[in-house]
Structure 1
């Protein structure tokens, strides 16, 4: 299978680093015109330059906007009125005990992880339906199904993404627009790598030992028995964004290494 996204414009929110950056690279490699998004102009410019170097001849540009706010989403849509592929990737996480999570954190997590995708889908989906082609992908998490006791607020927002994704998919009936979610498991992004390095230092271990022990201790049901790479997650997203994935709609696609112990 050769995925060709030539002629398609893709927006990846939160794509200056991590999974989002890998997705942007994958889409650009498939021929899409990719728009990188982040909160600061400096990071956006650096990410665009890195992608242009990694994928010679690619069409990549950036828009700096804070998608956790209504104003930020509005400015992003003003700069980019239409897209064919929307990847709702922007998100935050933080381990914190339930009794220590104040209302402000609940609101912040909901704004970043949920409302960013709500606002942008509301802005871009009508155009997709009118053109009769489009892809919306929410980057959720296995934590949407296995709510982590150390991050209940995070898990709640990831479950909400699944509900929104499925609800939007119901609105595409009979069209060539699809809406799906992708559920990564533990993934070695830049932020997670820093976390693992700190663990290794605290416990007098190598980074590899700390990563392996984390999976065994906190995700013991993993069949992969390691962190996934950002590229492994991006591969799933690029496929589901393609014309070849036309029969997959309203799905929650797991890329979590078999952590979730279910056959469906």
Structure 2
């Protein structure tokens, strides 16, 4: 399906791996010129070359920067002052007990998962409103609305993104600019796969068998009983960025594999 995104420019934070990379690839498939972001310049450059090789009609570019650092964000804005699509994907997570989460950890998660995304949005949203086209997507999690208790510092930030997205959407009234949030469920990123492989390091099992056993034992509430693939999130994000999704405004869009047991 042609999503009508040819020659748009998209900045995807944290796009050298995982969900961010999958979103960048799916956008490139639609003819979008993607700005690849990460802190490691070599990783960013490899991803740029990979996408350029696969989609030679597009012009992916290196947007390496630590977007938590205000000065590096400002340098990024000078280099890329205009974009059509902003995907706030970059984030950190770790299993932690509440009693181990001190103020420094709370602040680190807030600055990384919320303030960095807000800083990008605050710069690019007015420009999108001025030209009457733009898409901003925040990548949250099912943990935003169904905290497991295993990552309180992470869940807090993802819930904040839902509120921020709704607040920013209120500024787009009457404009062809949308601000939405995608809430993936458990997704098979590189990091997650490494964790699963490590858990079953002494077992003679295929990865499919490991995945099935893990889901049955640890995530029985999942209705698909497998990890969501990053490509699935990528395709959803590409659609939400398209002109066909212009009626999504301030929406929390779930792709959680049935993890959330409630209607709302």
TM-score with structure 1 setting the length:
0.96
Matched, 1:197 2:197: yes
Aligned residue number for residue 128 of structure 2? 128
Of 102-111 and 39-48, more deviation after overlay is shown by 102-111
Deviation at 1:240, TM superposition (A): 0.2
1:38 aligns with 2:38: yes
Aligned-residue Cα RMSD (Å) equals 1.4
Matches within 5 A, 1:98-177: 98-177=98-177
- State the alpha-carbon separation in 2 of the partners of residues 72 and 210 from structure 1: 41
1:21 partnered with 2:51: no
Change (3 A) 1:150 1:177: same
Question: Residues 53-90 of structure 1, C-alpha deviation per residue, up to 9 Å, x if partnerless?
Answer: 22232221111110122222212112111111000000
CA distance in structure 1 between the partners assigned to 2:41 and 2:88 by the alignment: 19
Matches of 1:203 and 1:151, distance apart in 2: 28
Tell me the distance in 2 between the aligned counterparts of 1:204 and 1:92.
31
Q: Which runs of 5+ in 1 are unaligned?
A: none
Distance in 1 separating the partners of 2:162 and 2:202: 36
Which shifted more, 101-110 or 112-121?
101-110
Q: Which residue of 1 aligns with 2:223?
A: 223
Q: 2:172 aligns to what SS in structure 1?
A: coil
Report if the CA contact (8 A) 1:12-1:24 is conserved: yes
Aligned residues: 264
Which secondary structure state, in structure 2, belongs to the residue aligned with residue 38 of structure 1?
coil
Whole-angstrom CA distance in 1 between matches of 2:202 and 2:89: 31
| SS of equivalent to 1:149 | coil
CA offset digits 1:192-228 (Å, max 9, x no partner): 1111111111666543333223323333211111001
Question: TM-score scaled to structure 2, two decimals?
Answer: 0.96
The whole-number CA distance in structure 2 between the counterparts of 1:163 and 1:80 is 27
1:41, CA displacement in angstroms?
1.0
1:122-151 per-residue CA deviation (whole Å, 9 max, x = no partner) reads 000000000011000000001101112111
Greater shift, 220-229 or 1-10, is seen at 1-10
- Check whether the contact 1:200–1:206 (CA below 8 A) recurs between aligned residues: no
Residue of structure 2 in register with 1:256 after alignment: 256
